[in-house]
Amino acid sequence: MDTVRKWRIGVIGCGAWGPNHVRNFSALSNAEVVGAADLQPDRLARVKAIVPGIATFTDADAMMAITKPDAVVVSTPTMTHFDVVRQALSSGKHVLCEKPLCLTGQEADALVAMADERGLRLMVGHVFMFNPGILKLKELVSNGDLGSRIYYLFARRTNLGPIRQDVNAVLDLASHDVSIYNFLLDAVPTKVSAVGQAFLQPGIQDVAVITLTYPGGIIGSIHVSWLDPRKVREITVVGDRRMAMWDDLATLGPVMVFDKGVTKKPREYSDFGEFQLLTREGDVTVPRVPPAEPLRMQAQAFIEALEAPETLRSDGRVGAQVVRVLAAINESMARGGAPIAINSPEGR
Ligand SMILES: NC(=O)c1ccc[n+]([C@@H]2O[C@H](COP(=O)([O-])OP(=O)(O)OC[C@H]3O[C@@H](n4cnc5c(N)ncnc54)[C@H](O)[C@@H]3O)[C@@H](O)[C@H]2O)c1
């Protein structure tokens, strides 16, 4: 009889989010959470309630040395990711790091190189790449259901709080939308332009309005804010044949497809190549999207990648691309909205 291998997982950082990783990995039949670490001992109580008997530590190195996990999840504040991930990789652990991977493209490249040299998996928790609604949107875009050309995307990710003190709303919130856009379009933007303001804390932008230009002139617009009256998690994708909307908070279903568009019709009796623009208003459909917890799907995908490296999605390179875009957005905000080319010295 085959016995299922249980991958040993350690979780580093057990604040607001880390315990969700503990819960999701514990629920998988081929994983067990063997240890957890947090600098603050009181934070470990929640983890003990989820996995009774789990070994807990205030030092990540001690957790890795004593519980000997195969892989660790890094769910510490973003500013610490580079050091914590580097330490985990140098201890020979596969890593699933929360988004964003780190702060600069150079740091990201260094982590990717370290993982490659050691034959370790490095995955970044761009959890929306595992969200069933976003996967449906991806299917619609890839199958050409929205048309042969995507014109633009528009995202809103707003709420009143949670307000972070370590990173701005771009790193915290727009990291999601950038990862979604890159995933949907299978591309990275060529340039970005953004304005933002730090109203509540000096130097930490609460609000940003971002414009990304993708190859082919596709526009990606993003509005993020933790200083807004309404919780909104929406993306609109406009193609040359149909349009779609994703709303993570919708009760009917997360995706709506609008059979709407504009057709160019040559004008009759005109020799000058003139045409009419006719709007078309067809049905609105709500495709079936099977419910699933994205973080669970992400945990499952990580374990799958431990077993079969070629299945790794949202890997370190994907994470590095997102980091470069975020760095360019921050640079543009610092320069009053100036366009920044990705991969330019400024955008690194
Ligand atoms: N995917 C998502 O939707 C999502 C949601 C929330 C947070 N996150 C990400 O998760 C990460 C953590 O966010 P959070 O809200 O839980 O933050 P948090 O501040 O609530 O928790 C972070 C914890 O890490 C601990 N810590 C810091 N340095 C450490 C170290 N070297 N070793 C061990 N523990 C250490 C802190 O004591 C703290 O308890 C961030 O990167 C954030 O972007 C992702």
Could you tell me the residue ranges of all domains in the chain?
A: 7-126+295-313, 129-292+324-341
Q: Give the pLDDT mean for 102-126.
A: 98
Ligand 1: which of 72, 76, 176 to mutate, judged by most atoms within 8 Å of the beta carbon? 76
Cα of 193 from ligand 1 centre, angstroms: 28
The fold adopted by the segment(s) 7-126+295-313 is Rossmann fold (3.40.50)
Quick: pLDDT tens for 257-315. 999 999 988 888 777 778 899 999 999 999 999 999 999 999 999 999 999 999 999 99
Architecture field, domain 129-292+324-341: 2-Layer Sandwich (3.30)
Q: Tell me the whole-structure pTM to 2 decimals.
A: 0.97
Of all atoms in ligand 1, which is nearest to the CA of residue 97? 41
- Burial class of residue 230, CB neighbours in 10 A (0-12, 13-18, 19+): exposed
Which residues does ligand 1 sit against, CB inside 6 Å? Answer: 12-18, 37-40, 43, 60, 75-78, 80, 84, 98-99, 125, 127, 172
Q: What is the DSSP string of 147-213?
A: -S-EEEEEEEEEEE-PPPSSS-HIIIIIHHHHHHHHHHHTS--SEEEEEEE-SSBTTB-SEEEEEEE
Quick: pLDDT tens for 75-99. 999 999 999 999 999 999 999 999 9
Q: Where are the beta strands (DSSP E) in 16-63?
A: 31-37, 55-57
Ligand 1: which of 12, 24, 96, 98 to mutate, judged by most atoms within 8 Å of the beta carbon? 98
Which single residue is written with the structure tokens 């406009």? 238
Q: Give the pLDDT mean for 228-236.
A: 98
Does residue 145 register a pLDDT over 80? yes
Mean pLDDT, the chain, integer: 96
- How many beta carbons lie within 10 A of that of residue 119, not counting itself? 9
Give the residue whose CA is nearest to atom 5 of ligand 1: 17
Smallest Cα–Cα separation from 34: which of 87, 72, 86?
A: 72
pLDDT band, very low/low/confident/very high, at 335 (cuts 50, 70, 90):
very high
Write down the pLDDT at residue 270.
Answer: 75
Write down the pLDDT at residue 267.
Answer: 84
Q: Give the pLDDT mean for 202-225.
A: 98
Cα of 117 from ligand 1 centre, angstroms: 27
Does residue 178 register a pLDDT over 90? yes
